[in-house]
Amino acid sequence: MSRKALLRRELLAARRLLTSEDVRDAAAVLSAVASDLPELASARTVAAYVSVGREPGTHVLLDALRARGVRVLLPVLLPDNDLDWAAYEGPEHLAPAGRGLLEPVGVRLGPEAVVAADVVLLPGLAVDRRGMRLGRGGGSYDRVLARLAAAGAHPALVVLLYDDEVVAQVPEEPHDHPVDAAVTPAGARHFAPRGPA
């Protein structure tokens, strides 16, 4: 088993120990901390995701962004694991999809829609002091990051995590991209600026 796979297993096991109350409380704090992030405070379009299970909660944040008039794009998982996008129009416009996900039911905007985002909120399991993010390993967000780089788009990349998921080092592969900031209930942490992709 690879170092990434071992670290993923360890982090997912820790998340399974969280209670529903832990997740709900952390989501409220995460929303407040993220809302104060300068990148999000000035954003007009944010590509985000709908948290599921024990992931750091995004529901409160999605509604807060929408209430401020921010255009929020949510992913729609395609059969090849790539991501299409649709506008978030409220929780009543989300429908169950494969893999336990919730997806927007609105008009599909195409995989390229993400390049219009000022900020991309990324799911993750960990980030290290360099800003290297460990995802779940499905590759969907690797494609998103590659698409942004190919288009010359440079939105702020922000990962939402629990406090103990900021680690010393994440195993890294050539296709991995660093993020600009991590938001945890304890606060936000910015990383060294990245050059153009």
- Quick one: tokens of 102? 């919730």
Supply the pLDDT for residue 136. Answer: 83
pLDDT tens, 156-187?
999 999 999 999 999 888 778 899 999 999 99
Supply the pLDDT for residue 128. Answer: 95
| Positive or negative: CA dihedral 99, 162, 114, 180 | negative
The residue written with tokens 């954003």 in the block is 43
pLDDT above 60 (res 194): no
Crossing angle for the helix pair 20-35 and 59-67, nearest 10 degrees? 30
Q: Give me the chain's average pLDDT, please.
A: 92
Record the pTM.
Answer: 0.92
pLDDT tens, 74-106?
999 999 999 999 999 999 999 998 878 899 999
Helix (H, G, I), strand (E, B) or coil at 116: helix
User: Domain spans of the chain?
Assistant: 3-190
Supply the pLDDT for residue 197. Answer: 43
Supply the pLDDT for residue 122. Answer: 95
pLDDT tens, 131-164?
999 988 788 999 999 999 999 999 999 999 999 9
Calculate mean pLDDT across residues 102-125: 96
**Pure H helices in the chain:** 3-16, 20-35, 38-41, 59-67, 140-151
For residues 140 and 75, is the Cβ–Cβ distance under 8 A?
yes
Triad 59, 179, 192: Cα angle to 5°: 135
Class of domain 3-190: alpha beta
- Quick one: tokens of 31? 């929303």
For residues 141 and 157, is the Cβ–Cβ distance under 8 A?
no
The residue written with tokens 């807060």 in the block is 64
Q: Give the chain's length.
A: 197
- Quick one: tokens of 62? 């999605």
pLDDT band at 192 (very low <50, low <70, confident <90, very high): confident
Supply the pLDDT for residue 1. Answer: 67
pLDDT tens, 38-88?
999 999 999 999 999 999 999 999 999 999 999 999 999 999 999 999 999
